[in-house]
Amino acid sequence: MKTIKNTVILLCACFGAIGCNKVEVAVPTFDVEVETLTYKVGDAVNFTFTGDADQITFYSGETMKDYAYIDGRVDKVLALNTSFSTAIRYGLANGQKDLLSVWVSSDFSGDYTIEGVHSATWKDNVSKDFTLAPPTMDNNTAANFIPSGVLDIMSEAEEGKPLYLAFRYKKDAGKAQRNWFMRNIAVNAVTDLGSFSLFDASGFTLVYDNNFETDTDKNSAVTSTQITLRSPNPFDPLAVEVWAISPPISTAETDLGPDKGTPIKGFRDLKIENYTYTYEEAGEYTVTFVASNSNLYGESKVVKQLKITVTE
């Protein structure tokens, strides 16, 4: 027993000593140079390195790859291009023709209950501008989905307020339930920098009326690729309502997230002497290399930048 105790004490002492010997992180000895600061579109720009670092990340200076925006980039929204595709299945014999409609609101409070939905002002004038699956359809295979076309819903926005997009499934009493399917849902914010996807189908929230009392009754579904709106067969005698409502859509500015660099060397990689990159568009670019060393106790990095001009 004495031997065991001594061993434990010895191990504890060893770990304590290790904890006290904190290893400082060395500052990378890294630099970069080029043969010239001016290139033509399509030229290979060869960056030559001296020194080394555990990790090296490259920022070309192009849009969304600019080190100046590593903390995030916000841009003004110019348009909200919206599209999706639809299909219908089941209930054709006694189905309702106008089950599905598309709505927008600028005063929805974000209360995803049927009471919250009904207290908001919803406009369905966009419905007529989308192409929906015909009421005679009874097939939801991928090839049969009907594209809606692309519509800019920015005109429905009110200044300073977010916009909400919704699909409403409303069945009259005595009508057979039909399954509506929405795929390829895209809401893209158009800015001066391009078009950026805001969310997919999974961003929508289902809201049921008070006829749906149990989880079994609530048989509509939302996934990352599809929204399915429907009601159970026993509900055929009832008038029912189900909504799929988007998250708030910013109509002023959109957060494009941080610009990202390209990792060109990792901790386990061998030392690299150079890196080559080709620019496809003319312009002035601030090229950035971030070289860093790290260990359990911290990180040390150096940032090296060059201004490159690319001409036609």
Segment 92-128, tens digit of pLDDT: 877 788 899 999 999 999 999 999 999 999 999 999 9
What's the confidence (pLDDT) of residue 287? 99
Share of the chain above pLDDT 70, in %: 93
Q: Give the count of alpha carbons within 13 A of 26, CB side only.
A: 8
Q: pTM of the entire structure?
A: 0.74
- Tens of pLDDT, residue by residue over 50-82, are 999 999 999 999 999 999 999 999 999 999 999
Q: Comparing C-alpha atoms, which of 259, 300, 282, 311 is closest to residue 23?
A: 300
Residues 126-151, mean pLDDT to the nearest whole number = 96
- Tens of pLDDT, residue by residue over 209-219, are 999 999 999 99
Pairing status of strand 283-295 against strand 55-59: antiparallel
CB-CB contact of 80 with 163 (8 Å): yes
Share of the chain above pLDDT 90, in %: 83
